Amino acid sequence: MGRGYNLLSILVTFLVLVAAVTAQGNRGSSRGGGGRRPRVGYYGNRCRNVESIVASVVRAHVRSNPANAPGILRMHFHDCFVRGCDGSVLLAGDTSERTAVPNRSLRGFDAIEEAKARLEVACPRTVSCADILTLAAREAVVLTGGQGWRVPLGRLDGRISQASDVILPGPFDPVDKQKRDFAAKTLNTIDLVTLVGGHTIGTAGCGLVRGRFFNFNGTGQPDPSINPRFVPLVQNRCPLTGDASARVVLDDGSVGRFDTSFLRNVRSSRVVLQSDLVLWRDPETRAIIERLLGLRRPSLRFGTEFGKSMVKMSLIDVKTGSDGEIRRVCSRVN
């Protein structure tokens, strides 16, 4: 009798514990992850219109200011390469990531905030700012003529954002350093070349690039590796004594169109960033460019590969479960 009672007591206690753990897991799941990895269709009926709401907002902001498309794409890259894809770049503050030098020229914050506000009305405390930014980056590509892809969702928002953490691949980096930086984020060399291909839209500040076109390494001459026919074009757009904050396009001849024109310009040495130009000199990255341009077998489709690489990047160090939260406003923690 006593033994049977003890077994029954143990069984009841076990079932109570299982119920408690299950309930806790369900509560965590309803708030954005419960420890699960992001997946396509994550929100389901809890926020059926999440993708269409984000798309509508981004479309309006890109229509009013086309610079928002490359701005949002660049913002997503900067977010994922610092503390993972957790929306920490969106947080405001005197020492937040937004204040770091590479992030001061980012655009598109208003679009993310508006999408968040509309989603808080449609499905309160459900969709993270990190997911909104990830979806917005895809819309930026699609709106400029690029190919779309299915976006895994279910990230949580990070609570930490520090300018001192912002260490990003730089515009003067040699190929080997670019490879190491991407490998540190679980991205391979195909991902590197393909994601750099995103420079097919966007601009760079004249103050950042004109040294190569007037006084490369203190020689008083342009970088000899630049196509000589391209040099005067950039010199005219970025005069030596001109406004350093003026902008020059990254993809000459295909402004605002998401295509392979930028990769063709890399092949022709007609690009403004040194980190882009050196991709043609390295045998491995050069071969990938040739495959993406259909000049080498097996060929690669740029649109398809870009989508694959964007998905891989969007899963870098994502926050789930107790590691993050669902912010009510993207610019501040709850």
Q: What would the pLDDT profile of 272-311 be if each residue is shown by its tens digit?
A: 999 999 999 999 999 999 999 999 999 999 999 999 999 9
CATH code for the structural domain at 49-165:
1.10.520.10
CATH code for the structural domain at 175-313:
1.10.420.10
- State the maximum Cα–Cα separation within the chain, in Å, rounded to a whole number: 97
Instruction: Find the mean pLDDT for residues 103-111.
Output: 97
How high is the mean pLDDT of the chain?
Answer: 91
- All CATH 1.10.420.10 domain ranges of the chain, comma separated, are 175-313
Which pLDDT score is estimated for 255?
86
Which pLDDT score is estimated for 17?
42
What are the binding residues for heme b?
199
pLDDT-derived band at 213, boundaries 50, 70, 90: very high
Cα separation of 105 and 89, whole Å?
12
Cis check: omega of the bond before 298, within 30 degrees of 0: yes
Q: Give the closest residue to 266 by CA, choosing from 312, 198, 320, 183.
A: 198
What are the binding residues for Ca(2+)?
79, 82, 84, 86, 88, 97, 200, 251, 259
pLDDT-derived band at 37, boundaries 50, 70, 90: confident
61 is catalytic: no
Q: What would the pLDDT profile of 171-204 be if each residue is shown by its tens digit?
A: 999 999 999 999 999 999 999 999 999 999 999 9
pLDDT-derived band at 18, boundaries 50, 70, 90: very low
CA atoms within 13 A on the CB side of 270: 17
For the entire predicted model, the pTM comes to: 0.89
Q: Who wins on pLDDT, 157 or 32?
A: 157
The single-letter DSSP state of residue 153 is B
What are the binding residues?
79, 82, 84, 86, 88, 97, 169, 199-200, 251, 259
Cα separation of 211 and 206, whole Å?
9
The single-letter DSSP state of residue 300 is -
User: Is the predicted pLDDT of residue 7 greater than 80, yes or no?
Assistant: no
Cα separation of 25 and 3, whole Å?
33
The single-letter DSSP state of residue 75 is H
Handedness of CA 31, 35, 41, 44 (dihedral sign): negative
| Percent of the chain surpassing pLDDT 90 | 87
pLDDT-derived band at 21, boundaries 50, 70, 90: very low
Which pLDDT score is estimated for 113?
98
What are the binding residues for substrate?
169
| Percent of the chain surpassing pLDDT 70 | 89
Q: Which of 61, 76, 78, 179 is catalytic?
A: 78
Cα separation of 247 and 46, whole Å?
42
Q: What would the pLDDT profile of 263-281 be if each residue is shown by its tens digit?
A: 999 999 999 999 999 999 9
Q: What would the pLDDT profile of 113-146 be if each residue is shown by its tens digit?
A: 999 999 999 999 999 999 999 999 999 999 999 9
- All CATH 1.10.520.10 domain ranges of the chain, comma separated, are 49-165
Q: Who wins on pLDDT, 201 or 334?
A: 201
Which residues are CB-neighbours of 14 under 8 A, at least 6 positions away? none
